[in-house]
Amino acid sequence: MSTESDIREFLASRRARITPQQAGLPAYGGNRRVPGLRREEVALLAGVSIDYYVRLERGRLAGASDEVLDSVANALQLDDAERAHLYDLARAAAKRPARRTKRVRGPLPDSVLRVLHSMTDSPAFIRNGRLDILAVNDLGRALYSPLYAEEGRHPVNIARFQFLDPTGRDFFPNWEESVNTTVSLLRTEAGRAPGDTELTGLIGELVTRNDEFRTAWAKHNVRLHHTGRKGFRHPVIGEITLDFDAMELPAQPGLTLTAYSAPPHTPDHDKLQLLAAWAATEGVTARQ
């Protein structure tokens, strides 16, 4: 992965999705050779010269001021995740330290693990930016039991399971949405940590071995993943849809605690209780 090519493809893809009408510009001529906005139109909207915007879109973000980046983000109608990604790419181009400079190595603090394991009614786990599950509680281990079926690979990785394990597609019933989420999270992390060789290795493996990942990766989509709903097709309890909340751990940079829940007195809540009963019967316990 090249920072310049990432910048070029990201900006071009964002420009291609916006029509002149959406940008508040008159659509001169009926035979536009490019989808979306032209470079000169983005330059006009951003208040910079055409030559300067062309330079930016060629990957030369180093030296661009925050004001220029904001103007380009506004012109391209970037959302919060895309705006943050643009800043991450600019930092990478300038070889400035990323927003997350400290990487967590070694075991997690006991206090963090106590919080995780105190959540007995909610499946929960702690992951890093490359989607390794670093710690999981008992109910989370039961929910994600298909990921732990293969012994010897620790920590398990959500993306590797999803795209390379034969059972991955069946476990995530909302497949297209799940693909977009996983790839967007990895693309976001790649912008935050361009020098992370383990992340680069994972992405290279997935791009090489899975066509769907390669196609989704080329879209350059990014996202913030704080709350929502996620569906699973579990081998024991069947299909279940759970609410999730993902909380970054301020004292552990780069780590996120994700917890699932279901509203009381709903079929999904009943299935969650069934999952807990199965885990207790089978002696499913989290291993840290």
Last residue of a domain, one of 38, 60, 93: 93
Do 51 and 166 have their domain in common?
no
CATH classification of the domain holding 210: 3.30.450.180
The answer as to whether 124 is a domain residue is yes
Residue-range definition of the domain harbouring residue 276: 110-282
3-state secondary structure of 244: strand
CATH classification of the domain holding 65: 1.10.260.40
Give the tens place of pLDDT for each residue, 130-185. Answer: 999 999 999 999 999 999 987 666 789 999 999 999 999 999 999 999 999 999 99
Give the tens place of pLDDT for each residue, 234-273. Answer: 999 999 999 999 999 988 989 999 999 999 999 999 999 9
Do 130 and 198 have their domain in common?
yes
Q: Which of 216, 154, 148, 140 is nearest to 180 (CA)?
A: 216
Residue 28: pLDDT band with limits 50, 70, 90: low
The answer as to whether 201 is a domain residue is yes
* pLDDT reported for residue 32: 72
Q: How many domains does the chain have?
A: 2
CB 104 within 8 A of CB 254: yes
The answer as to whether 100 is a domain residue is no
Do 118 and 88 have their domain in common?
no
CB 17 within 8 A of CB 36: yes
Do 8 and 35 have their domain in common?
yes
pTM for the full predicted model = 0.91
Burial letters 181-190, b for 16+ CB under 10 A, else e:
bbbbbbbbbb
Q: For residues 241 and 157, give the distance between their C-alpha atoms in angstroms, rounded to a whole number.
A: 21
